[in-house]
Structure 1
Amino acid sequence: MSSLKIRNVLPSDLDRVTEIEVACFPAAEAASKDAFKDRISVFPKGFFIAELDNEIIGFINGGATDKSHIEDEFFKTMKLHKDSGENLVIFGLDVHPKYQRKGFAKKLMLHFIEEAKKSGRKKVLLTCKEHLIGYYEQFGYVNEGVSQSEHGGAKWYDMYIDLL
């Protein structure tokens, strides 16, 4: 029986992570290879890979901040990242389409939340599209309404989960 392994990202994961991102997001919203390279080098402890039978099938990645909402600039560069930030932000939760609807995204999210708690963070922040609000609410995220984000030209909703 195959089992899912969740681990921190390695620089050698860059190409596969980029492939999965392109498969999961429209071009206007997908992070670039350079953005992933930046995230991997700046905050690998906030970037988790899901492996099934030694194949990378998904990932979750983020940064740290003292702010209460994700700024669009954060999706492009890690210059806003503050290693000691009280909150973690999620840039993306990706599972390759071939492996979706099997519970892998849920395992990645639970792992990210647990790691955020272990590192003493106060909240985890994310933005999502309207059809995903209910999905994130199952983890305890609270919908704050329409985000000011204009990332990729889409309509986003700000959500957060209190960890304390």
Structure 2
Amino acid sequence: MLQVKDRTPRSGCRYFCSILFNDPFSANYEAGSRWVIRLHNVGDNLKISIRNALENDINEIMLIEQGSFHANIVESRDVFLDRIRIFPQGFLVLEIGNLVVGYICSELWEHSEDIPAGNFRLNHTITEVHRNDGTQLYISSLGILQEHRKKGYGKKLFSELEKRAIAECRISSMVLVVSVRWGAAIRIYEKHGFREIQRIKYFFDDSARSDAIVMRKQL
């Protein structure tokens, strides 16, 4: 019998998120049970690495996604697969040993001072807005497995993506959306050079129908 009662309480947040999560174990109990077994075997001496995501990472990515967001704003498996296929250099995963514990994904957009709100629509297909020659990097999603939060892994993924995008894609700015309710996340982004540029009313389909803040960092 598996014991999951010592699992960390769901009081934290994904790097973008400070709302209560759905339980990833109830969302997919068989996969969740197997995940707990693997977590118990993760040691502090295992190598931490960041690499481009592969299509066969999708089960781990979706488990992280389901454990990070309110059920109404979880994005679909097909959306993530399209992101991996179309812009693989903009989709990174962080591994401890051979266990994927976090991911970050992005799109390249044409630079615009006034970005259409529809560009940020959750579950949009990357082909709608991605441009290979775009100079503005949109951070579409970032998640860390619950048991590995508050260890700096989100920051590692964010910094590595920024470094690679500057070197390989010659971006001039980065944008993201964050709920007005996620004060801790907003302060983190401001500390790292992001500034509010616009708001989108009732963007998040959460319990409060929260507004979104669009933030940009000039590089």
TM over 0.5: yes
Say what the alpha-carbon RMSD is for the aligned residues.
1.7
Question: How many residue pairs were aligned?
Answer: 163
Q: CA deviation at 1:75?
A: 3.9
Offset of 1:145 from its aligned partner? 4.6
Q: How does 1:126-137 map to 2 (within 5 A)?
A: 126-130=176-180, 131=183, 132-137=185-190
Give 1:37's match in structure 2, choosing from 61, 81, 104.
Answer: 81
Match of 2:106 in 1: 62
2:124 corresponds to 1:76: yes
Residue 136 (structure 2) pairs with residue 95 (structure 1): no
Higher-strand-fraction structure: 1
**Contact 1:72 1:149 (C-alpha < 8 Å) held by counterparts:** no
Once residues 121 and 200 of structure 2 are traced to their aligned partners in structure 1, the CA distance between those partners, rounded to angstroms, is 14
Max Rg structure: 2
TM-score by length of 2: 0.69
1:24-61 deviation per Cα after TM superposition (whole angstroms, max 9, x unaligned): 01111111101111111111110000101210000100
**Residue 72 of structure 1: how far off its partner (Å):** 2.8
Mean CA deviation greater in 103-112 or 59-68: 59-68
Q: Return 5+ residue gaps in structure 2 as ranges.
A: 1-44
Instruction: Return the alpha-carbon distance in structure 1 between the equivalents of residues 103 and 199 of structure 2.
Output: 25
Q: Percent identity?
A: 26
**Contact 1:146/1:156 (8 A) holds in 2:** yes
The structure-2 alpha-carbon separation of the partners of 1:34 and 1:154, relative to structure 1 and needing over 3 Å to count, comes to: farther
Q: Give the Cα–Cα distance (whole angstroms) in 1 for the partners of residues 122 and 108 of structure 2.
A: 10
Aligned to 2:195: 142
Q: Which runs of 5+ in 1 are unaligned?
A: none
Q: In the alignment, which of 89, 94, 110 is matched to residue 159 of structure 2? A: 110
